[in-house]
């Protein structure tokens, strides 16, 4: 039986946002916690040579159709922020800093950042926005603002990104069921089935 679900995503990834709407339900159906693991897709793209969707001819036009269509199917709000893709370094650092004391709150934080970006189209790249979202969850603004500049917090994110790449993560969303990798929000049905059957 699968012991762990790891959910890798970039906060700037629309398909990561879509997966974020569903993955906890999948885990709950099978009684397994989901570890949310934001990372930086830009670091991966340096290795794979991939480009963000808006910079890829043909694919950009398709994504503009496919992303909102997939969101409508899920029944979730969807918009693309004006600044897209955006740097999610501040959001990632805040996430791992929050996770150290309170994993449940860090997950709530991740959901609110995603909702801000793709539910409401706000600019979540800047530290001010990230701090604002965290404050809604009761986090002290000044403490978080200071934490975002701490070398230990920066190092933590660096290690997480390196570990993701080491594990073979190259896109967002990306899932591991123990050591079994699944890429894409459109693999969620396979993730669900794998958890149901123990694999095939």
Positions touching a second copy (CB under 8 A) are 44, 47-51, 56-59, 61-62, 65-66, 69-70, 72-73, 165, 168-171, 180-184, 186-187, 189-190, 193, 200
Contacts of 168 (CB under 8 A, 6+ apart): 181
Distance, CA of 22 to CA of 5 (rounded, Å): 13
Whole-number minimum distance, CB 24 to a second copy, in Å? 21
Q: What are the E-state strand segments in the chain?
A: 5-9, 34-38, 174-177, 180-183
Among residues 73 and 152, whose Cβ is nearest to a second copy? 73
Among residues 29 and 72, whose Cβ is nearest to a second copy? 72
Among residues 66 and 108, whose Cβ is nearest to a second copy? 66
Among residues 133 and 160, whose Cβ is nearest to a second copy? 160
Distance, CA of 128 to CA of 170 (rounded, Å): 29
Whole-number minimum distance, CB 26 to a second copy, in Å? 16
SS3 at position 63:
helix
SS3 at position 194:
helix
Whole-number minimum distance, CB 64 to a second copy, in Å? 11
């Amino acid at each position: 039986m699968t012991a762990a679900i790891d959910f890798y995503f970039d906060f700037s990834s629309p398909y990561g946002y879509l997966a974020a709407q569903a993955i906890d339900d999948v885990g709950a159906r099978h009684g397994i916690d989901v570890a949310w693991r934001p990372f930086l897709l830009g670091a991966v793209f340096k290795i794979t040579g991939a480009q963000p969707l808006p910079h890829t001819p043909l694919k950009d036009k398709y994504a503009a159709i496919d992303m909102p269509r997939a969101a409508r199917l899920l029944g979730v709000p969807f918009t693309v922020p004006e600044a897209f893709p955006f740097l999610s370094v501040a959001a990632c650092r805040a996430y791992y800093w929050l996770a150290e004391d309170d994993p449940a709150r860090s997950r709530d934080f991740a959901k609110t950042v995603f909702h801000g970006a793709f539910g409401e189209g706000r600019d979540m790249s800047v530290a001010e926005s990230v701090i604002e979202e965290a404050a809604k969850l009761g986090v002290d603004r000044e403490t978080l603002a200071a934490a975002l500049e701490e070398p230990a917090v920066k190092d933590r994110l660096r290690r997480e990104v390196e570990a993701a790449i080491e594990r073979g993560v190259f896109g967002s969303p990306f899932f591991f069921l123990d050591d079994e990798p699944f890429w894409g929000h459109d693999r969620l049905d396979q993730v669900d089935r794998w958890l149901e059957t123990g694999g095939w």
